[in-house]
Structure 1
Amino acid sequence: MSKTESLTRVTLAYLLAFGTATAWLVWGPDTDRLWLDALIADVLATVVVFGASRWHHNSSFYDAYWSVLPPYLAVYWVVASSAAGDDVRTLLVLGVVFLWAVRLTANWVITFPGLHHEDWRYPMLRERAGRLELPVDFFAIHLIPTFQVFLGVLPIYAAVARPGRDVGWLDGVALVIGVGAVTLELVADGQMRRFIRDRSPGEAMDRGLWGWSRHPNYFGEISFWFALGLFGIAAAPGDWWWLMAGTVAMTAMFLGASIPMMEARSLERRPSYQDVIDRVPMLLPRPPRRRAAP
């Protein structure tokens, strides 16, 4: 299947998924809680994407859902609440969210080879599950990430859908961190694509931002979710105890699962990566150590 046909099928599945979500939001029972309405719509859309994944025997159908969901929910909360949040803060939040979503989705489109390819982690999880392959596919690969992202976007709800404090200095900090995070990821993406294009067999990436952090893209991703949490706290300081839950969940996922899996795979495929581990910090950027003298 060509890349064009693959992208077309993914796009149609997402249109059906978000059409289902929108139908629920417009005609479904009203829970009187905008966040709960959004969560139910989110789960319904995830079920549709899961169905497409099973139909095509490829769970990578879900990958771009991660990046297109936050702007959809952000716009819904603004419209459904009649823009109850501070107008300036709402514009700032929407700007950061759409900037992040466009970058992440564009990077996925650029690097997506087609539906003949599937993220290597998904078949590994299904194979390990054995007879429980179907529920593992649904819960571990689709539904749990959906809940993680929803937890991460709840600060958007606090910032744009409820009356809160006027825009202030903390919003400025959140804006700088959010835009900085997206910029860092954009640069890291470009550097990695160029490296993959020009690398020698067995060579490990340690150039540019990747020479300061082994996972600058993950550092940028965590920083983005942290920025959303700050926007939420700027609007509702008394709710700080739950507004950062999404940032904590994302950080735990990257540190506890994504990074260890990527590191193990890199060492297995490129033994020279051990030298990168010895010199370059795992996440927080800093100048790399010098190579040891032979």
Structure 2
Amino acid sequence: MVAAASVGAVLVVHGATFLIARRIGRYNIVDITWGLGFVAVATVAAALGNGDLFRRLLLLAMTALWGLRLAWHMYVKTKGHGEDPRYRDLLGGNFAPSNVIRRIFGTQAVATLFVALPLMLSATQGPIPRHLLAVTIIGVVVWLAGLAFEAVGDHQLRSFKGDPANKGAIMDRGLWRWTRHPNYFGDACVWWGLWVASLAQWTSLVTVLSPVVMTYFLVHVTGARLTEKYMKDRPGFREYCSRTSYFVPLPPKSRAR
């Protein structure tokens, strides 16, 4: 029941977003829906699951805090702007509904359901065994660190871009001195934390591919690598790359003299 209802919830969220996107002629609003889709799954799992109530509510709270913050951030980031060039390139000029659904909304809906598998499975499992309580706490700590890293990184970048004096400059301050993608690194930590917190028995380990796939996409596909594709020709970016870690935060290297 949880799985079927989750599929229905994600289809409703992404279906409604597709209709809105067609109406306004801008598909990057799917970035707002990305976080909301997971909130929908976590809500369904908490409401319909027959597993441990505390863990269902814990995972709902963790997912909702992450998803709602991300949705608001993306709303503020995209408000008043045109289409994201990533989506124009992805569609290749073919804006037929079938192509838009296949390449954007359908793909994101499937990805949401796969990454959210730990939430769905955990909602059907019993109380947290005493020997796994420490594991649950570790999961919450990793999630909290990831959420803080992502939120602080987003805030620092928004403040940097909001200053006209920084127009055309590369953001290399705060967390951005330690990693070129603190937002994506934080996002990865959030999902590893959620996965660890969802563990209730050995069968829970089968969902480990969910955070693995999320991390892979954040590092190599839709996240860091795609962002750098559009930044590689900006003045100062290569020098920034030479002294700043790609993904995992590391002490910055000295500037070249």
Give the Cα–Cα distance (whole angstroms) in 2 for the partners of residues 180 and 160 of structure 1: 24
Query: What is the identity, as a one-letter code, of the residue corresponding to 2:67?
Result: A
TM-score scaled by structure 1? 0.79
Contact 1:68 1:101 in 2 (8 A): yes
CA deviation map 1:83-116 (0-9, x unaligned):
x3223323322221122123212212322323x5
Please point out which of 212, 219, 224 is paired with 1:255.
219
CA deviation map 1:65-93 (0-9, x unaligned):
11112222212222223xx3223323322
Q: Quick one: structure 1 residues 253 and 99, their matched pair in 2 at CA, closer, same or farther if it must change by over 3 Å?
A: same
Query: What is the identity, as a one-letter code, of the residue corresponding to 1:43?
Result: L
Partner of 1:220: 186
Give the Cα–Cα distance (whole angstroms) in 2 for the partners of residues 222 and 276 of structure 1: 22
CA deviation map 1:135-188 (0-9, x unaligned):
332122111111112111121122233325436111101100111111111111
Counterparts of 1:12-31 in structure 2 under 5 Å? Answer: none
- The alignment of Structure 1 onto Structure 2 pairs a total of residues equal to 253
Contact 1:213 1:284 in 2 (8 A): yes
Please point out which of 123, 136, 139 is paired with 2:88.
123
Give the Cα–Cα distance (whole angstroms) in 1 for the partners of residues 215 and 245 of structure 2: 16
Identity of aligned residues (%): 26
> Does 2:45 match 1:77?
yes
Q: Quick one: structure 1 residues 136 and 281, their matched pair in 2 at CA, closer, same or farther if it must change by over 3 Å?
A: farther
Give the Cα–Cα distance (whole angstroms) in 1 for the partners of residues 42 and 180 of structure 2: 32
Q: Quick one: structure 1 residues 165 and 288, their matched pair in 2 at CA, closer, same or farther if it must change by over 3 Å?
A: same
Report how far residue 204 of structure 1 moved: 0.6
Partner of 2:146: 181
Please point out which of 194, 207, 229 is paired with 2:159.
194
Give the Cα–Cα distance (whole angstroms) in 1 for the partners of residues 186 and 173 of structure 2: 17
Query: What is the identity, as a one-letter code, of the residue corresponding to 1:185?
Result: E
- Answer with 1 or 2: which has the greater Rg: 1
Report how far residue 45 of structure 1 moved: 3.5
Partner of 1:150: 113
Partner of 1:104: 70
Partner of 2:204: 239
Q: Quick one: structure 1 residues 87 and 132, their matched pair in 2 at CA, closer, same or farther if it must change by over 3 Å?
A: closer
Report how far residue 222 of structure 1 moved: 0.9
TM-score scaled by structure 2? 0.90
Please point out which of 239, 254, 257 is paired with 1:290.
254
Give the Cα–Cα distance (whole angstroms) in 2 for the partners of residues 70 and 91 of structure 1: 14
Structure 2 gaps of 5+ residues are none
> Does 2:245 match 1:277?
no
Secondary structure in 1 aligned to 2:226? helix
Partner of 1:89: 55
Secondary structure in 1 aligned to 2:162? helix
CA deviation map 1:18-51 (0-9, x unaligned):
xxxxxxxxxxxxxxx3212321332243233222
Give the Cα–Cα distance (whole angstroms) in 1 for the partners of residues 217 and 158 of structure 2: 24
Contact 1:215 1:283 in 2 (8 A): yes
Give the Cα–Cα distance (whole angstroms) in 2 for the partners of residues 125 and 176 of structure 1: 36
> Does 2:93 match 1:136?
no
Contact 1:74 1:94 in 2 (8 A): yes
Partner of 1:170: 135
Secondary structure in 2 aligned to 1:290? coil
Structure 1 gaps of 5+ residues are 1-32
Give the Cα–Cα distance (whole angstroms) in 1 for the partners of residues 67 and 242 of structure 2: 33
Query: What is the identity, as a one-letter code, of the residue corresponding to 1:89?
Result: R
Partner of 2:79: 113
Q: Quick one: structure 1 residues 133 and 235, their matched pair in 2 at CA, closer, same or farther if it must change by over 3 Å?
A: same
Secondary structure in 1 aligned to 2:235? coil
Please point out which of 208, 230, 234 is paired with 2:196.
230
Contact 2:128 2:200 in 1 (8 A): yes
